């Protein structure tokens, strides 16, 4: 499949979902997607796009768990914060601490936070906890040297 077609399909599905979920006003949605009101009317007259919106609305209104709907809303909200956070990191007028905090948050969202990094000493740790119920758990913990072989 052509990459341009794939990107267009993703953007169309994302637009349909945002319109169906109604988390933000539709004018805000079309501004973010860079389309005009007339273009939206044209899209909404398109039968395949109508089906995308209907399907997205049915999924959103389905008896999915509150936890799943909340997770989706939180993910949507976080996604909307990515560009403003990037702007803070890149803006030399922002205070140093604000820039650092924004960079840390972006790294955390991307899974690049320091907690995901390998230990600085190059070693690893193995930990096993056995809980037999009612008693004190048995914990085994060992430092494991990490060896990297190179040719």
Per-residue pLDDT at 40: 92
Calculate mean pLDDT across residues 101-128.
71
For the entire predicted model, the pTM comes to 0.49
Residues 6+ apart with CB under 8 A from 144: 123, 124, 125, 126
* Residue 117 banded pLDDT, cuts 50, 70, 90: very low
Alpha-carbon span 111 to 38, nearest angstrom: 39
Report yes or no: 106 and 56 within 8 Å, Cβ to Cβ: no
pLDDT in tens, 10-67: 678 888 988 998 888 999 989 988 999 999 999 999 999 999 999 988 888 887 667 7
Alpha-carbon span 37 to 43, nearest angstrom: 10
Calculate mean pLDDT across residues 96-111.
88
Q: Using alpha carbons, list the distances in angstroms from residue 75 to 24, 64, 79, 100.
A: 14, 16, 6, 22
Dihedral angle sign, alpha carbons of residues 46, 47, 50, 51: negative
Residues 6+ apart with CB under 8 A from 140: 126, 127, 128, 129, 130
């Amino acid at each position: 499949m052509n990459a341009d077609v794939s990107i267009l399909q993703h953007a169309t599905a994302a637009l349909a979902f945002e319109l169906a979920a109604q988390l933000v006003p539709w004018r805000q949605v079309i501004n973010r997607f860079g389309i005009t009101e007339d273009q939206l009317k044209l899209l909404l007259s398109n039968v395949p796009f109508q089906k995308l919106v209907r399907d997205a609305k049915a999924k959103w209104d389905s008896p999915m768990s509150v936890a799943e709907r909340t997770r989706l809303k939180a993910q949507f909200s976080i996604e909307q914060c990515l560009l403003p956070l990037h702007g803070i990191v890149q803006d030399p007028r922002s205070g140093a601490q604000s820039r650092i905090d924004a960079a840390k948050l972006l790294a955390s969202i991307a899974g690049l936070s320091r907690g995901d990094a390998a230990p600085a000493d190059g070693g690893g740790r193995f930990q096993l906890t056995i809980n037999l119920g009612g008693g004190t758990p048995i914990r085994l913990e060992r430092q494991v040297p990490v060896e990297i072989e190179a040719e």
